[in-house]
Structure 1
Amino acid sequence: GHRGVDSTGETTYKKTTSSALKGAIQLGITHTVGSLSTKPERDVLMQDFYVVESIFFPSEGSNLTPAHHYNDFRFKTYAPVAFRYFRELFGIRPDDYLYSLCSEPLIELSNSGASGSLFYVSSDDEFIIKTVQHKEAEFLQKLLPGYYMNLNQNPRTLLPKFYGLYCVQAGGKNIRIVVMNNLLPRSVRMHLKYDLKGSTYKRRASPKERDKAFPTFKDLDFMQDLPDGLFLDADMYNALCKTLQRDCLVLQSFKIMDYSLLVAIHSLDQAQRERAAAGAPRDRDRERDPRGRPAAQRALYSTAMESIQGEARRGGTIETDDQ
C-alpha cells in the first residue's frame, strides 16, 4: 500500500509525512472555504459537478497563500459549489466546518482497516478524513449528480455524508482525500459493532478480529448474540425500514453491490456500570465542546438516525417506489 513509516517513526503516505499532509489539508481547506464564502449562493448547475479549483502553496507564501513549514504543495478542490450545497443541506455552516477541521490539529487514527488508507478525525469528533485511491475519487465524482438528486428527494438518507473531495499534490504524488461524517464518535462508547450485509456466507468475524479491543462482528454473530434482534418502537422501525429500502434502491441505481449496514450499539446499563466502576459522574452531558453542545448531542448529530427519529416523531412518511 501507500502507507509507510519514515526513519523517525512517523507515518507517511506516498512518501509525505502525516504531519505535512495534515498541515496541507488544513491550509487548503481554510483557503478554499474562505474563497467560496465570497461567491454568492446559487442553484447547483450540472457543470458544477465537474469543476476542479487549484491553488499553489509555496513554502515562502504568496499573495494568496500564507507561508508554511512544509514543502511546496498544490491543493485541488473538486466540485466546490456542489459540496457547499451538500454541507448546507446537512446543516453545516462554513464557520463550523472550518472550526472543526482547522482550529486544532487533526488526530490520526491508528486502525486503517484493510484498505491501507490513512484516516484522520477532527478534534471535536465531527468529521473523518480518509485518503482514497484515484479510482475511488473518480467514482465519487461520477456519482455526484446522482448523489445530489438523491439528497434532494431523500434528506433522511443513511448513506455516507460527503462534505468535501480534495487532492494534495506533494512530491510529485497525488493524495486524494474525502471528508465524511464521523459515525462513531469517541465520546460515546459503542459496546457492540456489526457490519451487516444481509447474507450468511462467510459472515462471521474472524478469530483475529475477535481478539481486537473493539471488534466488528458480522451477520452470523448478530443472529447469535441478538436472536430476537433490536427492539425499536413501531414508528422508528417503519421509518428506518423505509429509509434503508430507499437507500438500497439508490445503490442499485448506481450499480453498487459491495455495501453493508454498520450497526453500533451503546448499552446504557453497561455504560452506567462502567462509570460507577471508574467513579465518574453519572451525567456525561456535562461534558461540552467549545461551542457549548453536550457530548451526547454531538454524537447524536454525527449520525443520520436523529433525522429519522425526528421524522418518526413527527409522524412523517418516507416515500419509496413501491408505495
Structure 2
Amino acid sequence: MSIRLSDKDKKLGHRRIGEEGETTYKKITSNQIMGSIQLGIQYAVGGLASKPERDLLIQDFMTVETKVFTCDGANLTPAHRFPQFSFKIYAPIAFRYFRDVFGIQPEDFMLSFCSSPLRELSNPGASGSIFYVTDDDEFIIKTVTHKEAEFLQKLLPGYYMNIVQNPRTLLPKFFGLYCYHCNSKNIRLVIMNNLFPSWIEIHEKYDLKGSTFKRKASSVERDKSTPTFKDLDFMELHPNGIIIDQEMYEALCKTMERDCRVLQSFKIMDYSLLIGMHIISKQSDIFGNNATLKNCNEPSTSNGSASTNMVPEGSSTSKNKKRLLYHTTVVESIDKQFMNQETIQKTSGGIPAKSNKGEDVILFIGIIDILQSYKMMKKIEHTVKSVFFDSDTISVHRPDFYATRFLTFMKKTVFQKNETSKKI
C-alpha cells in the first residue's frame, strides 16, 4: 500500500521526496550520497594508517584535506559508478584521536562504514537534515549546515580539552566531519554515536529543554508510531518523574552539570536532553527473544541521534551489538563504576529505572543539538520575544540562564532518586 505524503513531508529544507519515494538532498539522490560517502570515508580512514601516532598540534584542528574521486579511479581512489566528486576531510588527525579516546579501532570504523550499504533514516529532523546509519547501527551520519560545520571545527580544540579531562560525557561523540562536493553542491556531514541501540524497542521518546513555553508535541507528531514528546508532555505522562537508583542519580547529575558548564563556556544554548525509554513489561526480552520484531529496513530517529527499531537475531546488528556497548553506552558516559559486564548485558548499557506507573524501564539518554552558538541572530530573536511575552515563560536569554534552567528541570522534574534502596 502506498503512503500519500503531504507537501510538508515531501519538502523539508534541502530534503525532497519524489513521487516514487526517492529521497534527494540538494537535488542529489540519497543512494549517490551514501555510496560516495563510503568511498570517501574508506579513503580518509585508510589513508591515516600510514601516518604515525603523535600528539595533537593546534594546526591539526584546522587542517582540511581534499581528494577528487574520478569515475575511472586513480592511484589512491577506486573506480566507481557515481558522478565525479571531491571529498573534504576536516581535522583528520584530531578525529582519529577522538575515535581512539572512545575505543574505536580504525578497522572497526572501516568495517562499520564500508562492509555494507548505509541506510537512510525515515524520520528526519525538523531542520530538514538527512540522516544515515551504518548497517551495524554503530554510527549516525547527519547533514549539517555550513555554519554548523564551521562552528564544530572551531569547537574542536575545546572539545579535545573536555574529553581529555573527562571522556565520560553525555555530549555527542563526534567521530568525523566531511564535505561531499558534487554538481556544484556542498553536502557537509558529521559522524556521531548512535544513541539508541536499534535491537531494543523504544516505547517512549522525549526531547526536553527545561522549558514549558510551547513545549508540547504537535498533533502531527503525536500521530506517529513513536512520537517524540516534549517537556509538557513529559510532565503530563510522568508527573512524579522517573525514579533511578541514588548513586546513579548523583553520577548522572554530576555529568550533566559538567557538560552544561562546557556548553556554557562556548556560549551554546537551545540544546536538549533526548530520552528513549524501553518498558521492560512490554517486552519479554530486550534483545528480541520471544518478541515481535520490527522491520529493520524501516528505522526511525529523533534529531539524528538514534535508530529506534529492533532487528532479528542473526543480523549484522545483533552480531555487533556487544562492540557498540564499549564506547556509546549511557552507563559508560556517566561513571566508570557502573561499567560491569553483568549490568551492561542486562540493560544493554542503559540506565535501569522505574516509571511513573511503577514499571521497570531502561533509559537511553544524551545531550543533542549542541552546534548552535548564542550569537547575533539568537540575541535578536530573544529580544523580540521578550517584547511580546513574559521572559520567564520563554526561552531564556543567556547560555548561563539556559544551563541553570535545564539542570533544574532535569534534576527536579525528570529524574528522582530512590533513597530507600541502593539498586532498582
Instruction: Using structure 2 for the length normalisation, give the TM-score.
Output: 0.69
Where does residue 135 of structure 1 map in the other structure? 147
Distance 1:69 1:52 in 2: 26
Where does residue 63 of structure 1 map in the other structure? 75
Distance 1:294 1:126 in 2: 8
Deviates more, 1:220-229 or 1:123-132: 220-229
Distance 2:138 2:123 in 1: 18
Where does residue 261 of structure 2 map in the other structure? 249
Picking from 151, 167, 170, the partner of 2:182 is 170
Q: Tell me: higher relative CO, structure 1 or 2? Use CA pairs within 8 A at least 6 residues apart.
A: 2
* 1:210-250 deviation line (CA, Å, top 9, x unaligned): 11111111112212211221121111111100000010111
* 1:276-314 deviation line (CA, Å, top 9, x unaligned): 57499xxx9993565985747746853333342533579
The answer to whether structure 1 residue 191 and structure 2 residue 203 are counterparts is: yes
Where does residue 15 of structure 2 map in the other structure? 3
SS of the residue 2:228 aligns to: coil
**Structure 1: gaps spanning 5 or more residues:** 315-323
* 1:154-209 deviation line (CA, Å, top 9, x unaligned): 21110001000001110111111001001123211111111111122222212221
Where does residue 287 of structure 1 map in the other structure? 313
Q: Do the aligned residues in 2 keep the contact of 1:166 with 1:177 (CA within 8 Å)?
A: yes
Q: Do the aligned residues in 1 keep the contact of 2:144 with 2:188 (CA within 8 Å)?
A: yes
Distance 2:339 2:195 in 1: 22
Where does residue 318 of structure 1 map in the other structure? none
The answer to whether structure 1 residue 302 and structure 2 residue 323 are counterparts is: no
Where does residue 337 of structure 2 map in the other structure? 311
SS of the residue 1:66 aligns to: coil
Give the AA of the match of 1:311. Answer: Q
Where does residue 320 of structure 1 map in the other structure? none
Picking from 90, 105, 118, the partner of 2:117 is 105
| 1:5–1:210 Cα change, 3 Å | closer
| 1:291–1:217 Cα change, 3 Å | closer
Give the AA of the match of 2:276. Answer: A
- Mapping for residues 251-290 of structure 1, pairs under 5 Å: 251-272=263-284, 278=292, 287=313
Distance 1:275 1:29 in 2: 35
Distance 1:119 1:23 in 2: 14
Q: Do the aligned residues in 1 keep the contact of 2:72 with 2:80 (CA within 8 Å)?
A: yes
Give the AA of the match of 1:20. Answer: Q
Q: How much is the aligned-residue C-alpha RMSD, in angstroms?
A: 2.6
Q: Do the aligned residues in 2 keep the contact of 1:55 with 1:75 (CA within 8 Å)?
A: yes
**Structure 2: gaps spanning 5 or more residues:** 1-12, 295-309, 341-424
* 1:244-291 deviation line (CA, Å, top 9, x unaligned): 0010111101101111101111111111299757499xxx99935659
Q: Do the aligned residues in 1 keep the contact of 2:177 with 2:191 (CA within 8 Å)?
A: yes
Q: Do the aligned residues in 1 keep the contact of 2:168 with 2:332 (CA within 8 Å)?
A: no
Distance 2:293 2:88 in 1: 48
| 1:296–1:44 Cα change, 3 Å | closer
Where does residue 215 of structure 1 map in the other structure? 227
Deviates more, 1:271-280 or 1:34-43: 271-280
Picking from 153, 160, 182, the partner of 2:194 is 182
SS of the residue 1:266 aligns to: strand
SS of the residue 2:229 aligns to: coil
SS of the residue 2:59 aligns to: helix
Where does residue 321 of structure 1 map in the other structure? none
Distance 2:293 2:147 in 1: 49
| 1:252–1:279 Cα change, 3 Å | closer
SS of the residue 1:232 aligns to: strand
Where does residue 103 of structure 2 map in the other structure? 91
Distance 2:339 2:326 in 1: 16
Q: Do the aligned residues in 1 keep the contact of 2:120 with 2:132 (CA within 8 Å)?
A: yes
Q: Do the aligned residues in 1 keep the contact of 2:168 with 2:335 (CA within 8 Å)?
A: no
SS of the residue 1:156 aligns to: coil
Picking from 142, 145, 164, the partner of 2:157 is 145
Give the AA of the match of 2:313. Answer: E
| 1:55–1:313 Cα change, 3 Å | closer
Q: Do the aligned residues in 2 keep the contact of 1:48 with 1:81 (CA within 8 Å)?
A: yes
| 1:287–1:6 Cα change, 3 Å | closer
Q: Do the aligned residues in 2 keep the contact of 1:107 with 1:122 (CA within 8 Å)?
A: yes
The answer to whether structure 1 residue 80 and structure 2 residue 92 are counterparts is: yes
Give the AA of the match of 2:192. Answer: M
Distance 1:75 1:131 in 2: 14
The answer to whether structure 1 residue 117 and structure 2 residue 129 are counterparts is: yes
Give the AA of the match of 2:257. Answer: Q
SS of the residue 2:150 aligns to: helix
Give the AA of the match of 1:137. Answer: A
| 1:270–1:290 Cα change, 3 Å | closer
Where does residue 247 of structure 2 map in the other structure? 235
Q: Do the aligned residues in 2 keep the contact of 1:77 with 1:167 (CA within 8 Å)?
A: yes
SS of the residue 1:39 aligns to: coil
Where does residue 54 of structure 1 map in the other structure? 66
